[in-house]
């Protein structure tokens, strides 16, 4: 009976209208007075308007409630008609609770937005957002300090700093990144993301000056290289110097001079000299090989990028290594999905990488029961092409997993330790990557990823 009071109000107004109609008709037929007819008609109109207004109370209340939400006006209160019955009181309470919940949610969002704005302004990374027309939405203090562009209102104003930077930003896909050197003090790393707000597409760009980090990494790289060079040169020069000194002593002590001026050398002395000179020759040759390997690493040519199918590449590698793998009783299994997979790369350089990886896999499978090396090509979840070399050999221990790409580091008894370093360098020049995963004793996977 929630609407009991409301129903009684309706009934009373209807009864008043009926009573007024009867009384008006009665007096009109008794007196035939025009004034009384008009008076009762006005009373009747008033009662009808009052009934309509009273009956549409709920509709007006719902309309006012929806408009309050639409225009975010949460100052409204719904309590005036609580005397109309329990249901109206419950409806008013529900409306007020919803209004209060919206008010609380808006306050929380405003607090979160304020916190986000403060955080964006205080981070060291430059942040810029712009819409599809290029209009700047958000730009923080770090971006202003990095870019030093006055009156920065449109993303095309980046051209004032660097035209190349602007072109790269406009061509950058969501989730992509690039680095660019603006000047001697500014080397930017730029990343992109996209989002939608109020039905409009926005792009978010982050800028970071990586000059200091690059200098730190460069210094560390030089220190590591110096250690390697010192180690290799000392390994060769120390025995050479020692042997040279020993040979000098032999020449002074063990060679005799006859009366006629001829020098005489005995067999033992000759053998010592011969052995010493041979050792010096080998160490010198080793030092020359090391210098040549270093030269190869630092003189990798820029790749000649072209589109080519992967299937003929796999076939070339299979033919080139057929006899070598057959002697080791190893099968090269080629897997390609899709069969017409194509990549953009320098075919000769990629072939060199794959040959090196397959040979490494062969050497790692001396004791393996599974005698298959898998050469696999395909597309990842982002539709980017990849090529994998998979073997089931001894694997790589975790401690050596990342160090294998360091120049001159090797886990093999023989070898310069330069092959994998050059391979990764080649993939970097392709704007791709060379990665490795290994479970010792089970499986090792080298993956070439192309952008």
256 and 293 fall within a common domain: yes
226 and 164: one domain?
Answer: no
For the stretch 161-169, contacts whose Cβ atoms lie closer than 8 Å and that sit 24 or more positions apart, written own/partner, are: 165/190, 169/205
Which position has the higher pLDDT, 428 or 123?
428
Has this prediction a pTM greater than 0.95? Answer: no
pLDDT recorded at residue 3: 44
**Cβ-based neighbours of 120, under 8 Å, separated by 6 or more:** 127, 138, 140
The average pLDDT across 287-315 equals 76
Burial class (CB in 10 A: 0-12, 13-18, 19+), 203: buried
Token pair of 410, please?
């090797």
- d(C-alpha 250, C-alpha 275), whole Å: 12
Q: Which of 273, 298, 323 is the last residue of a domain?
A: 298
Average pLDDT, the chain: 77
The answer to whether residue 446 scores a pLDDT higher than 80 is yes
The answer to which of 120-129, 196-205, 390-399, 401-410 has the lowest mean pLDDT is 401-410
Give the mean model confidence (pLDDT) for residues 425-451: 88
At 72, is the pLDDT very low, low, confident or very high (cuts 50, 70, 90)? low
Q: What is the pLDDT of residue 1?
A: 38
> Which of 247, 275, 298 is the C-terminal boundary of a domain?
298
pLDDT at 421: 78
Q: Are residues 92 and 141 in the same domain?
A: no
Q: How far apart are CA 348 and CA 430, in angstroms?
A: 13
**What's the CA gap between 446 and 432, in Å, rounded?**
13
Question: What is the pLDDT, as a whole number, of residue 2?
Answer: 38
Tens-place pLDDT, residues 333-384: 999 999 999 999 989 889 888 988 998 888 888 888 888 999 999 999 888 9
Q: Are residues 274 and 221 in the same domain?
A: yes
Q: Give tens-digit pLDDT for 83-113.
A: 555 556 666 777 777 777 777 777 777 777 7
pLDDT at 299 over 80: no
Assess if residue 116 is contained within a domain.
Answer: no
Asked, for residue 189, whether it belongs to a domain, the answer is yes
How many structural domains compose the chain? 4
Could you tell me if 227 and 294 lie in one domain? yes
Domain containing 243 equals 214-298
Q: What confidence category does residue 151 fall into, taking pLDDT thresholds of 50, 70 and 90?
A: confident
SS3 letters for the chain? CCCHHHHHHHHHHHHHHHHHHHHHHHHHHHHCCHHHHHHHHHHHHHHHHHHHHHHCHHHHHHHHHHHHHHCCCCCCCCCCCHHHCHHHHHHHHHHHHHHHHHHHHHHHHHHHHHHHHHHHHHCCCEEEEEECCCEEEEECHHHHHHHCCCCCCEHHHHHHCCHHHHHHHHHCCCCCEEEEEEECCEEEEEEEEEEEECCEEEEEEEEEECHHHHHHHHHHHHHHHHHHHHHHHHHHHHHHHHHHHHHHHHHHHHEEECCCCCEEECHHHHHHHHHHHHHHHHHHHHHHHHHHHHHHHHCCCCCCCEEEEHHHHHHHHHHHCHHHHHHCCCEEEEEECCCCCEEEECHHHHHHHHHHHHHHHHHCCCCCCCCEEEEEEEECCCCCEEEEEEECCCCCCHHHCCHHHCCCCCCCCCCCCCHHHHHHHHHHHCCCEEEEEEECCCEEEEEEECC
146 and 220 assigned to the same domain: no
Residue 276 and residue 293 in one domain: yes
- Residues 380, 364: one domain? yes
| CB 404, CB 421: distance < 8 Å | no
- The mean per-residue pLDDT over the stretch 213-242 comes to 65
294 belongs to a structural domain: yes
Is the model's pLDDT at 125 over the cut of 70? yes
Cβ atoms within 10 A of the Cβ of 391, count? 26
Look up the CATH number of the domain holding residue 195: 3.30.450.20
- Of 183, 209, 235, the position where a domain reaches its end is 209
In a shared domain, residues 190 and 221:
no
Q: What is the mean pLDDT of residues 153-161?
A: 86
Residues 218 and 261 in one domain: yes
- Rounded CA separation 412/417 (Å): 8
Say yes or no: 70 and 165 in one domain. no
- Is there a single domain that holds both residue 170 and residue 234? no
Segment 20-51, tens digit of pLDDT? 777 777 776 676 666 766 777 787 787 777 76
279 within some domain: yes
Q: Average the pLDDT over each of 43-57, 114-128, 244-258 and give the range with the smallest value.
A: 244-258
Closest CA relative to residue 400, chosen from 390, 391, 411:
411
């Amino acid at each position: 009976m929630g609407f009991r009071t409301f129903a009684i109000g309706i009934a009373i107004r209807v009864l008043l209208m009926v009573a007024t109609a009867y009384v008006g008709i009665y007096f009109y037929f008794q007196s035939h007075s025009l004034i009384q007819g008009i008076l009762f008609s006005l009373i009747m109109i008033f009662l009808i308007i009052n009934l309509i207004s009273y009956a549409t109370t709920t509709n007006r209340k719902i309309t006012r409630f929806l408009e309050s939400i639409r225009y975010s006006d949460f100052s409204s209160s719904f309590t005036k008609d609580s005397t109309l019955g329990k249901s109206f009181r419950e409806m008013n309470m529900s409306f007020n609770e919803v209004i209060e919940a919206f008010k609380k949610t808006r306050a929380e969002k405003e607090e979160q937005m304020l916190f986000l704005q403060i955080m964006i302004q205080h981070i060291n990374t430059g942040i810029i957002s712009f819409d599809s027309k290029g209009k700047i939405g958000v730009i923080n203090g770090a971006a202003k300090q990095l870019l030093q562009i006055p009156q920065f209102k449109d993303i095309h104003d980046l051209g004032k700093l660097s035209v190349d930077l602007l072109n790269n930003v406009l061509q950058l896909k969501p989730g992509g990144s690039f680095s660019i050197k603006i000047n001697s003090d500014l080397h930017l790393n730029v990343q992109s993301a996209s989002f939608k707000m109020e039905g409009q597409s926005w792009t978010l760009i982050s800028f970071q000056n990586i000059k200091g980090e690059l200098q730190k990494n460069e210094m560390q790289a030089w220190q590591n290289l110096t250690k390697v060079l010192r180690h290799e040169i000392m390994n060769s020069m120390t025995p050479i110097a020692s042997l040279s000194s020993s040979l000098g002593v032999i020449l002074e002590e063990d060679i005799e001079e006859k009366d006629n001026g001829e020098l005489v050398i005995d067999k033992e002395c000759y053998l010592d000299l011969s052995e010493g000179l041979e050792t010096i020759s080998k160490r010198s040759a080793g030092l020359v090989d090391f210098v040549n390997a270093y030269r190869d690493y630092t003189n990798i040519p820029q790749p000649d990028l072209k589109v080519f199918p992967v299937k003929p590449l796999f076939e070339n590698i299979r033919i080139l290594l057929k006899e070598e793998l057959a002697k080791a009783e190893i099968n090269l299994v080629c897997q390609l999905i899709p069969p017409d997979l194509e990549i953009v790369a320098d075919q000769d350089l990629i072939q060199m990488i794959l040959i090196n990886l397959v040979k490494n896999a062969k050497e790692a499978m001396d004791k393996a029961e599974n005698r298959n090396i898998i050469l696999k090509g395909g597309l990842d979840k982002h539709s980017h092409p990849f090529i994998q070399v998979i073997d089931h050999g001894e694997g790589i221990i975790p401690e050596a997993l990342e160090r294998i790409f360091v120049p001159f580091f090797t886990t093999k008894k023989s070898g310069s330790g330069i092959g994998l370093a050059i391979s990764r360098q080649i993939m970097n020049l392709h704007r791709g990557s060379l990665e490795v995963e290994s479970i010792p004793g089970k499986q090792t996977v080298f993956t070439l990823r192309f952008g």
